[in-house]
Amino acid sequence: MSEQQREALDQIMRNGPLDIGGNPEEQRGIFERMLTARPLPDDVHVTSGELGGVPTLIIEIEGKNSRAVLLWFHGGWYVMGSPRTSAGLSSDVARRTGTRVVSVDYRLAPEHRYPAALADALSAYRALLASGVDSQSVAFVGESAGGGLAAALLASLSENGLPQPACAVLFSPWTDLTLSGASMTTKVGIDPAFVPEKVRVRATDYVGSSDPADPCVSPVFTDLSGLPPLLIQAGSHEILLDDSTRLATKAASDNVSVILDVTPNVPHLFQAFAAKVEEGDAALSRVATFLKSHLRYNLDAS
């Protein structure tokens, strides 16, 4: 990324209208408008669906007819966002891999606190398998809170009698809702968008009266043994950096195959700006390589 690209992205993040600690209803609208302002490419087909009583959005690329599925969990600090706010990024990954996306519209806090999102994620995966999809043709993909949700779901599958998917990709996962990572302090001011005080508001919205250190809330504290291969990506300029590095360390300690991919001098979810910054494009190329190497599917139009 050129210095000019980096500064432009930094200014976009710093000057955006979103206040993640603000009123949920107001911020949901702002978040939705920000992330859906650019139309999806004409070859992206979007249809509504349902899995296990949970609404989904199915995203397919014209000419791609793979059996592989990316079960996608959007970001938004558990309080905002939807499959449509992540459709730009998810459709980009779908195009690069020849897969289809099934994006889970899990319930949001504070109206629906933990464990509602995790219950929805589990129901959706269970129903996806019941529909006849092979678990080895499924990858979990999650962004930010959705990345933490995907990690918590992975850790819960064994006790629920469900097989692991082929692999998982976690974009800057929020894995510690106690906010105890050092980067919550050391990256303040460097992170162009987020500060811990406002992140804590959203953590409280999601956790409610539960323990934020509960491993099902903060998967950085759980036993990750038996998980499939993981690719964890983050930017070095984000306060959630330690949520990624610590999860990767825990996974490695628990004998999980894990790739920690940290791009320097970029913010949270820089991959969403792949069309504008070369680091984002390069990161998504690595995601595509990882998914293609682990998924069982027909790449008849990749």
Homologous superfamily of domain range 3-294: Alpha/Beta hydrolase fold, catalytic domain (3.40.50.1820)
SS3 label, residue 34: helix
119-128, 198-207, 292-301: range with lowest mean pLDDT: 292-301
Query: Given its phi and psi angles, is residue 295 left (phi above 0), alpha (psi -120 to 50 degrees) or beta?
Result: beta
The DSSP-derived string for 85-109 is TTHHHHHHHHHHHT-EEEEE----T
Query: Catalytic amino acids?
Result: 144, 238, 268
Residue 302 scores a pLDDT above 50: no
CA distance 258 to 154: 14
CA distance 151 to 172: 11
CA distance 140 to 169: 6
DSSP state of 39: P
In this predicted model, what pLDDT tens digit does every residue of 148-172 receive, in sequence order?
999 999 999 999 999 999 999 999 9
Instruction: Indicate the helix (H) or strand (E) that contains 125.
Output: helix 116-130
In this predicted model, what pLDDT tens digit does every residue of 209-229 receive, in sequence order?
999 999 999 999 999 999 999
In this predicted model, what pLDDT tens digit does every residue of 38-83 receive, in sequence order?
999 999 999 999 999 999 999 999 998 788 999 999 999 999 999 9
Q: Which amino acid is at 90?
A: S
